[in-house]
A and B are shown apart, each in its own frame.
Chain A
Amino acid sequence: MQQPMQEAKSPESINANTLFASIRMLLLLHLACGLGLALAFLVAVDFRSLTLIQNPAQTLFTVWAADALIVIPVFSQFRLDPDKCSYVKAIVRGLMGLPAGALVNALGAIVLGAPVGIQHFKKTVHWSLLMSVFTFVPAASVFGSSWTDWHRIFAHSKFSLVQMFRPMRPIDFIICLPAHGAIIGAWFGAWPMPLDWERPWQEWPICVTYGAILGYLIGVIASFGFVVYYNRQHHAKRD
């Protein structure tokens, strides 16, 4: 397999050839993201006959476990520094990123208003693990502990379009957009919770999970679009 991100530190100097060659891989990656989630739900609903509304904790557990099984190996393929870091090490990085990301997500959720009672503990844990699979795990697999890369992905300075996209590589899109999509989706997903419709899905963390998944999928589609666009531009430049 070809490694796409050889000269990672200076994005402008990416070998367009390498990039173009890897674009098919990146598209496959997208497919894996989307299908992985679908598969995870399939496992949860069909094989273990769980639904999110009736037993949220077990369903979330199944989903994140199944999704992690797909996401970690796939993203580990795209690790940033394949010379220094073996495939196994990347997988271990991803696995270590899982609880760390869960902790950050759980704290964020509690800051925003997730219930802190003991009987919600399990749900919160599994939900944040799922969020971690959406947000932290891919980045952990790919970047490891490279602070600059994390900083670039999750805290880029401006929301101006120019600065937002110029220093990005395709793999950045694939990590950044779905992760932000999941977080923003979860944020919107919390909105219906206080309404008095008395639907079972208004419970924590069901609608937040729905929001996160929806946001994640939108992010995946958007990043897919960006990768195609980016590829075409570079293709044109090469010509």
Chain B
Amino acid sequence: MGVSEERIWSGRRWAFAAFLGIMVVHSLAILLFTRGFLLTRTELSQYSECNDVMESPCFPPARDRNTNGSCWSKPVVGRLVIIVLDALRFDFVAPSTFFAEKKPWMDRLQVMHDLAARNRSSTRIFKAIADPPTTSLQRLKGLTTGGLPTFIDVGNSFGAPAILEDNLIHQLGQSGKRVVMMGDDTWVQLFPDHFATSYPFPSFNVKDLDTVDNGCIANLFPALDKEDWDVLIAHFLGVDHAGHIFGVDSTPMIEKLEQYNEVIEKVVGALERQSGPGDLHENTMLLVMGDHGQTLNGDHGGGTAEEVETAIFALTTKKPNTLLAGAESSSCQLDVHGRQVCTSSIQQLDFAATVSALLGLPFPFGSIGKVNSELYSLAGGTWNQEESITGDDGNPSEVQSWMLNYVNALCINSWQVKKYIDVYSSLSLIGFSDKDLLHVSELYSRAQELWSITSRNISGAFVSPSLVRSQLDAYSMFLESVAALARSNWTEFNLKIMGIGFCIMLSSLYLNAFLIRRLDKLFGLQSFFSDYLQNFLGVNLACIVILIRAWSFLSNSFILEEGRVASFLLATTAILQLRHAIMKKMMLLEALVLCLLVPFLRISIELSQLKQAVNSLFLKVDSSNMLGIVNDSELWMYVAEVLPMVALIIVAYLLYKSITSCSSQGILKYVIAGTLFNYMLILLNWASESSLLSPNLSLSLIKGNLIPQVIYASGLLQLSLLVIGQLIDRGRTSNLEQSTIVKALGLISAWSSTTILLSGKQGPLAFLALLIGGWCLIRLMALERNTKNDSSGSSLSYALPVTQWSLLAVCMFFSTGHWCAFDGLRYAAAFIGFDEFNLIRQAILLTIDTFGFSHILPIFGLPLVVRGYLLNQSKQVYSIRICQVYLMYGLITAIATTFTMLCVTIQRRHLMVWGLFAPKFVFDVVGLLLGDLLIFLSALYYTT
């Protein structure tokens, strides 16, 4: 201690510089790495023009037909009605006989089955495969541009910026088509001034199932009878919101589906009433489609089958003469009423191109989809190759003319895609690889060679069907290989930037470790090595645990099971500490309690995995691993209602005890009193929501948003009180340890009420577990004490407790029902207390819900580890210790993040990179930066 006494060491100034520095270095490293890893596709600003098609080798439609504003291909549909049902799962639409098991939500859209069975030539059900990320905004962007929106756009989903790329809606406007939009206001944000008329309704209040839908219905039916539009878009949100709030298997969901059934029936009726020759809907196509699917919990965003598989139901009012007898990709089944229903498959990528072809529009410049033959055939009459060859049924000439039309459409399609690929390769910094480009060009030139023959034949009189078919095959092959190339190569990792970011991250680790050592030196430590030997067990155990956890990120399975891995490691350290405690014959109770706490954390981690596994392709959890507690008995419901309240009362009691035991701390008393008041409000809030406890209590007065808002306000008030107290109290405290405990208690209690409220019923239990775990770890610090006088010891004795602290924090993250995926975010929590959407406010609430128990509370509570055996030491030493502990905690988090970065780099071509590794990376990075910020703030708060 002697060395540092002469030096003037200002803890706060030092902490300010050091933690800010680390934060900046981390941000820089992450920024660079993210730029390399989560790339956006380069958006080209070119637009397809009507006249472009003259450059193509294909047959442009005759000029005189060009009255309708259509120019690239012959329009086959007059008007188009697109009804988007958000988060429409494929099994909502297809008959239940297509699936292994009939579930309550299936067969609710009976009108589709009925129509598909009756008019098989003009009606068809498609399974539409979306590309991840399956969030509404990304899908709308993908549907309209015909491209593949990339992962990074996910972040913009709440901000909804306008689409600047060429897209379907732009082309509609250019061609003079009038577009009417109603429903989800995301459309208006994407296309601010493209619509002739629009009736947007706010989409972000997830709790509201009906506003958007009722708005749609109110505007849809009058519009159907009007002539002032060419394309009508109605976007219903009820199913998406019902899924988010109640899940798929719920009464509101089924009610929504039955409502939609009615709506579609009425829409079809309205269209068919006016479908006679010369009528308004003589040649109208109806598309009822989902933008993406959803999981059984109502989540979406990832790439699992349930999220990706949605449906398109297509119907044309102009009945083709010939029956379409089974296309290549269709599968037919009898439905529950014994009708034969067929479904086909389509890629959502192909939607923009197909709709453009149907309406005769220029294809969006960046579209890489292919005109889908079956959807195209529905409108354009019939298409059946067998018939066209034999010619014994139907109208061969009609079939043939349609075929030629389709070949021409594909020709234009291929030409446009090739042009896009060429322009993209020349303009984008990193285009496709030369090998792939060569392959694609080869396929294209082969198709074009064939086309030169085919086109000559078309100009002549007769085209042999086999020639047409081989031409179609050649184009299909080209288009499919382009799509495959784009899918596999679109995320162009910039390895150089990634490498630089990674190296900066590595050096930040070194900086972190260096700062810890430097503080030790300030402390006047003589020999590092002897100290290492003294803490041999603890330090090595800490290192081993951290490294095991870090390496585990290399495997997708361990990432899925991250919570259980953390609890396993925490349990290992706890058992070793129990052994240590037995050996020293002290702290036995604490060690035992810690050991017993871990299984509870693990069980709640497994419960949250069950929730996750319902919809995860990757994760398979045997639900029978659990005790049979998932039943819905009356007793269990009662326990589930009462247990959190009991836990909350226990927490309140503990807090109350803590103020009575602490001697006269003015501000703390007010803060904790405020927290107790908040807890009472939370209890009141639950009691008012509860069905079991208060069936007859008239609490309706206080129902709603008042209580949560009061709790938020009082939390803010408490925080500001603490800050003011800190400012007034600066440097006047005599007993630093006592005052730190008081400060930490105040800070934790100020945050706890908000965190508990947002976490819902599990909140108090999690908070209680965190308190118990933290208490055990603090007490067990005594085991690490080797000598009576700690002042000569280095920071190494803190290695194990801080590691355990961070493991406990990780366990808390997973056991409060979170996981590292975007479907693990609990959006509903962001709307507790508020009905309207406000980006910043809701984002803050969502952050508190997600990271409250795993980052905010543990980091604010960390200085408590230092307590307990620094009784007679100067303030400086104490401040140094706090800085060291925070540096260590930051180092542990940063090591985990560094390894996550390494792992996503190694696994960047892994099948699950977007499903698993990238979300994990994003969560880790956000957690690290948030942790850095919190550490920075709390280091300022605690040091003097």
Contacts and interface: CB of A to CB of B under 8 A. Distances in A.
A111 B625 contact: no
Contacts of A160: 533, 536
A155 B599 contact: no
B565 A194 contact: yes
Contacts of B567: 113
A10 interface: no
13 contacts: A111-B571, A111-B574, A112-B575, A113-B564, A116-B603, A116-B627, A151-B582, A154-B579, A155-B580, A187-B572, A194-B558, A195-B555, A196-B620
B575 A118 contact: no
A120 B622 CA distance: 12
Contact of B557 (A111, A157, A190, A194): A194
Nearest to B605: A113
Interface string A137-179: 0000000000000010011111110000000000000000000
A107 B571 CA distance: 11
Interface residues of B, number: 36
Contacts of B599: 110-111, 116
Interface in B556-598: 556-558, 560-561, 564-565, 567-568, 571-572, 574-575, 579-580, 582-584, 595-596, 598
Interface string A80-118: 000000000000000000000000000110111101111
A155 B579 contact: yes
A170 B357 CA distance: 87
Q: How large is the interface on A (under 10, 10 to 19, 20 to 34, 35 or more residues)?
A: 20 to 34
A117 B536 contact: no
A195 B620 CA distance: 11
Interface of A: 107-108, 110-113, 115-120, 151, 154-160, 187, 190, 194-196
Given A187-B572, A194-B560, A118 B537 contact: no
B885 to A, nearest CB: 25
A159 B537 contact: yes
Contacts, number: 66
Contacts of B584: 157
B536 A159 contact: yes
B872 interface: no
A196 B556 contact: yes
From A107, A111, A116, A159, residue with most partner B Cβ within 10 Å:
A111
Nearest to A152: B583
Contact of B618 (A112, A115, A156, A196): A196
Nearest to B565: A194
Contacts of B558: 194-195
B564 A194 contact: yes
A160 B568 CA distance: 26
Contacts of A156: 583
Contact of B571 (A112, A115, A120, A196): A112
B723 interface: no
Contacts of A110: 599
A193 B427 CA distance: 49
Contacts of B561: 194
A155 B582 contact: yes
B571 A113 contact: yes
B582 A118 contact: no
Nearest to A154: B579
A107 B558 CA distance: 24
A173 B571 CA distance: 27
B610 to A, nearest CB: 12
A107 B574 CA distance: 13
Given A118-B628, A187-B572, A194-B560, A111 B595 contact: yes
B459 interface: no
A116 B628 CA distance: 10
Contacts of A195: 555, 557-558
